């Protein structure tokens, strides 16, 4: 019986030994580095070593045949200076695309498990003459970060207030006043703003290593080069984006992102990463060979019978996520970010693609989604699915959840936009959405917190643009305005785009407040998009993925310019936190379960106890009986919400409270700031003789009964 682990080989000046097959990637071992790479179909593999920053390798070390165990090439190389080297692989095998094999030993390939990617882009958008021409390589990370006592926060899902944001765009604008603008460090400097707003969780758009120069088009309006700004095209799944670091030092981006996570946790704010496992940066048939394609194309990608790439993502390829090896890769990646970076959860882009089998058919019990749900390392992580893909699979309410997964609720978005716009026939559906969508989740034993409620996100109009544009304005994207969603369910309030008309601007402001009120008065988990709290506009562009320009960044003068909107958002978040009746773990029943004489929730119209479900209805009112949550330690106050989305004022009569209680006005979106929303305990008492209020057209009023 051979004992390869005790035999030292040599290749030129390098001492080698049979390596450990697991873990995959490059890991420190006593005296050296263990390199491990999977490929089921390769015939040979060579380790390629570079000096940091140099374009040509200084050494190439073939894996001896006996260093292969099963489908894994594993080798220890001794006496390497891990702070100065970068590495990649040449992988040889058949080139038979019809059978799925595309090996090319001339290409140096990036290790899928590389913990840091040396792509040459240490600075964001280098001048074109300085762009690197060499291959992407991995760097070896030595973890010496001091986490102190930091651990993931595990905030209950019902208490989450999610702020979706772009890390670079958050501080890149010149008005941010941050020296390290557009970086992890820059975001860290703005944590007090997030605390001031009141959010409890940031959902950060992709920070896994990507190539911002992937986009080769130009802006036809300006002639400037467009970029891959959003980053939904991953190069390195284990590596934070180098160009988001303020420092280009060894492990700079690693330590900066860890410091950001630690400081966010100290501020009581969770970190959720937007992750892209449905496709990769290698794109389709004519895309670049970077990693998976050259390592084992037939394993890592979903292929058609003729070897062509299945495309359920709209990006040219689809990761073969339910192949056992690919499934391990995804779970290993998530575990790494949870364990090494202390992140609190993940939002999965086009997650329905992860539920397709190797033949592309949707699986009833997808192994990957099940494994993620039950993985012991990820057991406390928030798991959020974008429950659709570009292949037509739409699973909102039907996503395989294992009672662990939450979903971006696209049906909440669409119904709320229609209701705000004044569409007919929406009032009845709004009942379900306000209650946390029990029609979608209750039958499967899921909770209201399965619903991530949102009205806007990165993909579409900002909230300001939702009330300012009827049509998308995407000519600057260089795709003849053909990209982006055509149906935005938006209403420009009378004029397309910017206007000085005070009446229209007043309506737009009121509609933005109405949207925020509906979001935070609904059961489920609310999510807002960066800048919606202060009126950020993209000038009608609803697909701003390719623009790294000031209008796509957060303008830090807006919270002052639009102080009334910013204040309203702060206060409505605080209102939700104060009232446990708006943050329930279980679905409301519509019944009196505590003997209070009132159901936990009841529905009304302009007259109490008489809701109008007709298609012509543009009104809705509901009463929350606080005595139900008081039994669980919440406030005993009643909450009465009246919504008039009609184009004219309407008089609403409100229900009679129990003896000794009276109504107080907390919110009226038609009133000027600061009367539009007041702090808890400072609500305006109504005259006891007052039985009704006239609601302004397109407005929401909330009363507190105590």
Residue where the block lists tokens 């294992």: 402
Enumerate the active-site residues: 349, 386
The alpha carbon dihedral of 50, 56, 57, 58 has a sign of negative
User: What is the rounded distance in angstroms from the CA atom of residue 125 to the CA atom of residue 554?
Assistant: 19
Length of the chain: 706
Q: What is the 3-state secondary structure (H, E, C) of 113-166?
A: CCCEEECCCCCCCCCHHHCCCCCCEEECCCCCCCCCCCCCCCCCHHHCCEEEEC
CA neighbours within 13 Å on the CB side: how many for 538? 33
What tokens does 260 get? 């950001």
User: What is the rounded distance in angstroms from the CA atom of residue 486 to the CA atom of residue 472?
Assistant: 7
Angstrom distances, CA of residue 323 to CA of 302, 326, 330, 595: 9, 5, 11, 54
The alpha carbon dihedral of 390, 543, 128, 240 has a sign of negative
Q: Is residue 471 within 8 Å of residue 427, measured between CB atoms?
A: no
CA 670 to chain centre: 32
What tokens does 555 get? 């303008």
User: What is the rounded distance in angstroms from the CA atom of residue 166 to the CA atom of residue 158?
Assistant: 24
Q: Where are the alpha helices (DSSP H) in 375-501?
A: 410-421, 427-434, 438-441, 463-466
User: What is the rounded distance in angstroms from the CA atom of residue 539 to the CA atom of residue 372?
Assistant: 39
- For 471-495, letters b (16+ CB in 10 Å) and e give ebbbebbbeebebbeeebbbbbbee
Residue 105 neighbours by CB under 8 Å, 6+ apart: 44, 46, 90, 91, 92
CA 465 to chain centre: 20
**CA angle at 610 for the pair 651 and 619, rounded to the nearest 5°:** 50
Burial class of residue 74 (count of CB atoms within 10 Å of its CB; 0-12, 13-18, 19+): buried
What tokens does 212 get? 């911002």
Q: Is residue 30 within 8 Å of residue 77, measured between CB atoms?
A: no
CA neighbours within 13 Å on the CB side: how many for 77? 25
């Amino acid at each position: 019986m051979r004992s390869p682990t005790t035999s030292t080989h040599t290749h030129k000046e390098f001492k080698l030994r049979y390596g450990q097959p697991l873990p995959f990637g490059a890991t420190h071992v006593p005296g050296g580095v263990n390199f491990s790479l999977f490929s089921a179909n390769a015939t040979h593999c060579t380790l390629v070593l570079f000096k940091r920053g140099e374009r040509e390798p200084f050494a190439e070390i073939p894996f001896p045949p006996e260093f292969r165990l099963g489908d894994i090439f594993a080798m220890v190389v001794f006496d390497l200076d891990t702070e100065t080297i970068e590495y990649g692989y040449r992988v040889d095998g058949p080139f038979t695309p019809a059978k799925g094999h595309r090996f090319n030993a001339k290409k140096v390939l990036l290790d899928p498990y590389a913990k840091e990617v040396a792509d040459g882009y240490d600075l964001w958008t280098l001048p074109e003459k300085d762009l690197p021409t060499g291959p992407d390589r991995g760097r070896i990370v030595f973890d010496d970060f001091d986490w102190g006592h930091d651990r993931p926060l595990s905030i209950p899902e019902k208490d989450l207030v999610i702020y979706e944001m772009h890390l670079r765009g958050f501080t890149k604008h010149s008005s941010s006043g941050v020296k390290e603008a557009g970086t992890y460090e820059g975001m860290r400097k703005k944590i007090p703003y997030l605390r001031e707003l009141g959010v409890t969780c940031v959902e950060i758009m992709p920070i896994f290593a990507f190539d911002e120069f992937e986009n080769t088009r130009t802006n036809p309006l300006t002639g400037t080069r467009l970029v891959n700004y959003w980053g939904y095209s991953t190069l390195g799944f284990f590596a934070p984006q180098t160009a988001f670091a303020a420092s280009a030092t060894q492990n700079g981006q690693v330590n900066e992102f860890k410091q950001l996570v630690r400081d966010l946790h100290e501020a009581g704010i969770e970190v959720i990463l937007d992750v892209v496992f449905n496709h990769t940066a290698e794109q389709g048939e004519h895309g670049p060979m970077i990693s998976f394609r050259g390592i084992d194309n037939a394993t890592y990608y979903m292929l058609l019978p003729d070897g062509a790439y299945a495309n359920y993502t709209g990006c040219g390829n689809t990761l073969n996520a339910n192949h056992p090896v690919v499934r391990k890769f995804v779970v290993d990646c998530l575990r790494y970010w949870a364990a090494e970076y202390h992140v609190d959860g993940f939002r999965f882009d086009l997650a329905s693609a992860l539920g397709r089998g190797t033949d592309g058919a949707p699986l009833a019990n997808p192994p990957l989604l099940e494994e993620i749900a039950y993985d012991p390392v990820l057991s406390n992580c928030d798991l959020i699915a974008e429950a659709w893909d570009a292949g037509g699979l739409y699973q909102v309410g039907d996503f395989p959840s294992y009672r662990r997964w939450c979903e971006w609720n696209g049906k909440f978005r669409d119904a709320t936009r229609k209701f705000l716009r004044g569409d007919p026939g929406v009032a009845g559906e709004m009942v379900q959405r306000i209650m946390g969508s029990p029609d979608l989740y209750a039958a499967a034993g899921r909770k209201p917190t399965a619903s991530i409620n949102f009205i806007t996100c990165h993909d579409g109009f900002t909230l300001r643009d939702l009330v300012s544009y009827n049509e998308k304005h995407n000519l600057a994207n260089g795709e003849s305005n053909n990209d982006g969603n055509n149906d935005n369910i938006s209403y420009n309030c009378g004029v397309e785009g910017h206007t000085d008309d005070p009446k229209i601007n007043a309506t737009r402001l009121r509609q933005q407040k109405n949207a925020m009120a509906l979001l935070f008065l609904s059961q489920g988990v609310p999510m807002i998009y960066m800048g919606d709290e202060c009126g950020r506009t993209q000038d009608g562009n609803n697909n701003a993925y390719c623009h790294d320009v000031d209008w796509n960044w957060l303008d830090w003068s807006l919270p002052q310019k639009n102080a009334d909107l910013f204040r309203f958002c702060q206060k409505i978040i605080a209102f939700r936190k104060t009232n446990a009746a708006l943050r329930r773990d279980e679905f409301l029943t519509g019944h009196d379960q505590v003997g209070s004489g009132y159901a936990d929730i009841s529905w009304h119209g302009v007259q109490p106890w008489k809701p109008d479900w007709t298609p012509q209805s543009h009104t809705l009112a509901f009463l929350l009986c606080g005595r139900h949550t008081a039994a669980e330690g919440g406030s005993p106050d009643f909450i009465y919400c009246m919504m008039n989305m009609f184009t004219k004022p309407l008089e609403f009569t409100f229900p009679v409270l129990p003896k000794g209680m009276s109504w107080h006005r907390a919110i009226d979106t038609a009133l000027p700031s600061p009367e539009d929303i007041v702090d808890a305990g400072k609500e305006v008492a109504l005259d006891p003789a007052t039985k009704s209020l006239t609601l302004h057209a397109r407005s929401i009023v909330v009363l507190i009964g105590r």
